[in-house]
Amino acid sequence: MSAPREHFHHCPRCAVPHPTPAAHEPFHCAACGFLYYFNSTIAVATFLRAPDRRVLFIRRAKEPARGKLAVPGGFVDIGETAEEALRREIREEVNLEVGPLRFLGSHTNVYPYEGVTYPVLDFFFISEMQPEQSPSALDGVESFCWLEPQRVDLSEIAFPSIRAALKQYLAITESHE
């Protein structure tokens, strides 16, 4: 897998050949002055709680991490706030509406896809399921389950950022409940 910057062999503006930028440096074309910063992709996810405090986990239907556990969420589209993106992703993945979103924290991650490994900054939230709803396994979701978060096997979690957020979630919920 390669980082996004490794795919810039020519300037996107003037097409002049260019060596691959060094890690963590922007692409800068000396010929035309074009400057491009390689920033993290933004993703959002939520620990969606049922009234009994179990959390909704999904099993991923697609690579990366197919068959592994995750929490509902996904990538933020251009022009969306984190909250708008999260509400959209919850509808798209499990067909639910949620109440207020409470920010939990952020964690870095990488997302290998189609031969490119994207740097990701994941924002995690806590939310409550609205009454009289039932989730459905929709886009990218093999199945779902309601689990007691303290009993989740961390080796079953899809990404390191979700494991870190789950530990953070457990630390704050155990101290407040």
Q: Which of 130, 108, 111, 110 is nearest to 56 (CA)?
A: 130
Domain spanning 41-176: CATH superfamily: Nucleoside Triphosphate Pyrophosphohydrolase (3.90.79.10)
Q: Quickly count: other Cβ atoms within 10 Å of residue 158's Cβ.
A: 20
With CA atoms as reference, report the closest residue to 124 among 112, 108, 113: 108
pLDDT digits (tens, 9 = 90+) for 13-38: 999 998 876 767 888 999 999 999 98
What is the arithmetic mean of pLDDT over 93-102? Answer: 96
Round to whole Å and give the CA distance between 71 and 161: 11
For the ranges 1-15, 108-122, 142-156, the lowest mean pLDDT is seen at 1-15
Nearest to 88 by CA among 143, 122, 139, 134: 139
What are the φ/ψ torsions at residue 89 (nearest 5 degrees)? -60, -40
pTM, entire model:
0.91
d(CA 122, CA 107): 5
- Which amino acid, 95? N
Give the separation between CA 40 and CA 6, rounded to whole angstroms.
15
Asked if 73 contacts 104 with a C-beta cutoff of 8 angstroms, the reply is no
Domain range summary for the chain, segments of one domain joined by +: 1-38, 41-176
Residue 19: per-residue pLDDT: 83
